């Protein structure tokens, strides 16, 4: 996919901006709080959903009398480079409309499913350094990106888990009927839990192999990234998404083993909801030992892996938006990002013009007070 042009009217601090984009790399530089992330967000809104806000009223410029905003984005799919498609977003007050080639879309999120793009925002660093829940959410996001049934499976699992935990919370000691109900919930949880684990594991192999490859490219081959899915059910036992019976039997055994402790803790102690992902650089755990630049490089490698997975699935190269990605990276890593993400169209923001001194091919826009100016030469 290539975004050809974008027009933004009255969106956050951007009063009016029009762009014809470079098919390869577009860099936006400017001081803090000038409108770089707002521009990235305007693109995400056209793709169905703001990555920053769920409240449309926040998108309207402060103090605006008309309380309306409009964005128009034109793009081509790689398979039909001559057919230009137009997405138009219009908002009046908190009423939003999204049109795709003049056809109104009732549920904008459907578009989000169809038009994939890849986004890095600084919060993505928490995939590496944050709590296990962030990493679980991330592997669920990747699994769902490839197969949308995954979120249904996850919903079923979480619902069953909640029911079981409610019994644990309210159960009196020696309550036999509650104990029987717990046993029955454990069957359900093991079944749904295996579904969730399979959904995650099925794509984890590609994600980790691709991320390792891109991590090597970002740092010039000096370091090696390895990723591992850490299952509270399977422990050190090796398993693949095909080992459904082994997983189910182990799941049930582990739930039985932890039963007494669960009664005390009033919580389900093992299962898909407690799993994690570990990252290691040259064998050292990244969460504990990696530098800021290494953590950032892992996050970028994951994003490039996502892009490749989308491409493998859809045949279309998604656009990549990298917001505030260059800070903390050395010259080798910066140069890779601005010059060597070859095939995709890339949008990069940076507060530091010097970050782009080795920029070889593409456009640079200066951003100031919500105004965008294309840098000549
Ligand atoms: P940084 O380098 O710090 O990330 P940025 O250029 O990405 O900065 P943005 O997040 O795009 O900055 O925000 C630019 C400005 O837009 C901020 O000052 C913010 O307060 C302002 N802003 C956000 N929402 C609105 C709105 N609804 N109306 C007007 N201004 C807004
Ligand atoms: Mg920003």
Task: Provide the domain limits for residue 254.
Answer: 126-289
pLDDT tens track for 267-306: 999 999 999 999 999 999 999 999 999 999 999 999 999 9
On whether the CB atoms of residues 5 and 85 are closer than 8 A, the answer is no
Residue 263 has pLDDT above 60, yes or no: yes
Mean pLDDT of the chain: 95
pLDDT tens track for 207-245: 999 999 999 999 999 999 999 999 999 999 999 999 999
Q: What is the pLDDT of residue 271?
A: 98
* 51 in any annotated domain: yes
Going by their DSSP bridges, the two strands 371-374 and 320-322 should be labelled as unpaired
**Ligand 1, atom 16, residue with closest C-alpha:** 13
**Ligand 1, atom 12, residue with closest C-alpha:** 33
Rounded CA-CA distance 35/61 in Å is 12
Residue 210 burial (CB count, 10 A): 19
Residue finishing a domain among 274, 289, 304: 289
Q: Are residues 187 and 336 in the same domain?
A: no
Q: What is the pLDDT of residue 107?
A: 65
* 121 in any annotated domain: no
Q: How far is CA 276 from CA 33, 128, 330, in A?
A: 35, 11, 29
**Ligand 1, atom 3, residue with closest C-alpha:** 32
On whether the CB atoms of residues 273 and 136 are closer than 8 A, the answer is yes
Q: Are residues 30 and 133 in the same domain?
A: no
Q: Are residues 136 and 247 in the same domain?
A: yes
User: Is 323 close to ligand 1, i.e. is its CB under 6 Å away?
Assistant: no
Residue finishing a domain among 248, 273, 289: 289
Average pLDDT over residues 331-350: 94
Q: What is the pLDDT of residue 353?
A: 86
Atom of ligand 1 nearest to the CA of 60: 27
* 108 in any annotated domain: yes
Centre of ligand 2 to C-alpha 70, Å, is 21
Average pLDDT over residues 84-98: 93
Q: What is the pLDDT of residue 356?
A: 87
Look at residues 249, 255, 239, 253 and name the one whose alpha carbon lies nearest to residue 197.
239
* 304 in any annotated domain: no
* 310 in any annotated domain: no
Rounded CA-CA distance 21/299 in Å is 25
Centre of ligand 2 to C-alpha 64, Å, is 22
Residue finishing a domain among 241, 273, 289: 289
User: Is 351 close to ligand 1, i.e. is its CB under 6 Å away?
Assistant: yes
Q: Are residues 254 and 184 in the same domain?
A: yes
Q: Are residues 335 and 244 in the same domain?
A: no
* 307 in any annotated domain: no
* Among 35-39, 100-104, 180-184, 295-299, the least confident range: 100-104
Residues 287-290: contacts with CB under 8 Å, at least 24 apart: 287/128, 287/129, 290/128, 290/129
Helix axes 176-218, 292-314, angle to 10 degrees: 100
Q: Are residues 110 and 146 in the same domain?
A: no
Centre of ligand 1 to C-alpha 355, Å, is 21
**Ligand 1, atom 30, residue with closest C-alpha:** 13
Q: Are residues 269 and 209 in the same domain?
A: yes
User: Is 343 close to ligand 1, i.e. is its CB under 6 Å away?
Assistant: no
Average pLDDT over residues 119-129: 97
Give the number of whichever ligand sits closest to the CA of residue 38: 1
Q: Are residues 284 and 144 in the same domain?
A: yes
User: Is 324 close to ligand 1, i.e. is its CB under 6 Å away?
Assistant: yes
Q: What is the pLDDT of residue 329?
A: 94
Task: Retrieve residue 30's tokens.
Answer: 């400017």
Give the number of whichever ligand sits closest to the CA of residue 323: 2
Q: Give every strand in the sheet of 2-11, ordered side by side.
A: 14-20, 2-11, 68-77, 80-92, 95-100, 103-105
Q: Are residues 167 and 243 in the same domain?
A: yes
Rounded CA-CA distance 306/212 in Å is 12
Residues forming beta bridges with residue 98, ordered by sequence position: 89, 105
Q: What is the pLDDT of residue 104?
A: 86
pLDDT tens track for 166-200: 999 999 988 999 999 999 999 999 999 999 999 99
On whether the CB atoms of residues 235 and 276 are closer than 8 A, the answer is no
* 200 in any annotated domain: yes
The CATH number for 256's domain is 1.20.1050.90
Look at residues 122, 99, 118, 102 and name the one whose alpha carbon lies nearest to residue 110.
99
The CATH number for 79's domain is 3.40.50.300
On whether the CB atoms of residues 139 and 229 are closer than 8 A, the answer is yes
Residues forming beta bridges with residue 92, ordered by sequence position: 68, 95
Buried b (16+ CB within 10 A) or exposed e, 357-376: eebeebbbbebeebbbeeee
The number of domains in the chain is 2
Centre of ligand 1 to C-alpha 370, Å, is 8
Residue 108 has pLDDT above 70, yes or no: no
Average pLDDT over residues 11-35: 97
Q: Are residues 96 and 213 in the same domain?
A: no
Q: Are residues 77 and 149 in the same domain?
A: no
* 306 in any annotated domain: no
Q: Are residues 97 and 141 in the same domain?
A: no
**Ligand 1, atom 19, residue with closest C-alpha:** 33
For the chain, give the secondary structure using H, E and C: CEEEEEEEEEECCEEEEEEECCCCEEEEECCCCCCHHHHHHHHHHHCCCCCCCCCHHHHCCCCCCCCEEEEEEEEEECCEEEEEEEEEEEEECCEEEEEECCEEECCHHHHHHHCCCEEECHHHHHHHHCCHHHHHHHHHHHHHHHCCCHHHHHHHHHHHHHHHHHHHHHCCCCCHHHHHHHHHHHHHHHHHHHHHHHHHHHHHHHHHHHHHHHHHHHCCCCCCEEEEEECCCCCCCCCCCCCHHHHHHHHHHHHHHCHHHHHHHCCCCCCHHHCEEEEEECCEEHHHHCCHHHHHHHHHHHHHHHHHHHHHHHCCCCCEEECCCCCCCCHHHHHHHHHCCCCCCEEEEECCHHHHCCCCCCEEEEEECCEEEECCC
Rounded CA-CA distance 67/90 in Å is 11
Q: What is the pLDDT of residue 116?
A: 85
User: Is 177 close to ligand 1, i.e. is its CB under 6 Å away?
Assistant: no
């Amino acid at each position: 996919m290539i975004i050809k042009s974008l027009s933004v009217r009255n969106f956050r601090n951007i009063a009016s901006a029009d762009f014809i984009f470079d098919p390869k790399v577009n860099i936006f530089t400017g001081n803090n709080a000038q409108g770089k992330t707002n521009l990235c967000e305007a693109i995400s809104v056209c793709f169905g959903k703001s990555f920053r806000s769920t409240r449309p009223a926040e998108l309207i410029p402060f103090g605006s009398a008309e309380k309306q905003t409009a964005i128009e984005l034109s793009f081509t799919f790689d398979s039909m480079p001559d057919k230009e498609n137009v997405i138009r977003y219009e908002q009046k007050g908190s009423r939003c409309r999204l049109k795709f080639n003049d056809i109104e879309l009732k549920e904008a999120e459907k578009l989000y499913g169809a038009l994939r793009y890849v986004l890095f925002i600084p919060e993505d660093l928490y995939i590496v350094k944050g709590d296990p829940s962030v990493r679980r959410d991330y592997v669920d996001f990747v699994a769902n990106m490839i197969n949308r049934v995954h979120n249904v499976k996850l919903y079923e699992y979480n619902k069953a888990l909640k029911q079981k935990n409610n019994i644990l919370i309210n159960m009196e000691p020696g309550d036999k009927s509650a104990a029987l109900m717990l046993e029955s919930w454990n069957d359900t949880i093991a079944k749904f839990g295996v579904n969730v684990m399979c959904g995650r594991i099925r794509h984890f192999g590609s994600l980790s192999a691709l991320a390792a490859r891109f991590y090597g490219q970002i740092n010039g081959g000096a370091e090696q990234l390895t990723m591992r899915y850490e299952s509270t059910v399977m422990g050190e036992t090796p398993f693949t998404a095909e080992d459904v019976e082994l997983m189910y039997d182990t799941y049930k055994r582990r739930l039985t083993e932890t039963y007494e402790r669960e009664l005390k803790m009033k919580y389900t102690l093992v299962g898909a909801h407690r799993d994690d992902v570990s990252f290691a650089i040259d064998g050292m755990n990244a969460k504990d030992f990696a530098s800021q630049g290494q953590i950032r490089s892992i996050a970028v490698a994951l994003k490039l892996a996502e892009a490749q997975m989308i491409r493998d699935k859809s045949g279309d190269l998604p656009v990549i938006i990298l917001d505030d990605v260059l800070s903390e990276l050395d010259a080798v890593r910066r140069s890779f990002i601005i010059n060597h993400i070859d095939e995709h169209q890339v949008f990069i923001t940076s507060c530091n013009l010097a970050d782009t001194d080795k920029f070889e091919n593409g456009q640079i826009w200066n951003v100031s007070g919500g105004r965008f100016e294309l840098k000549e030469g």
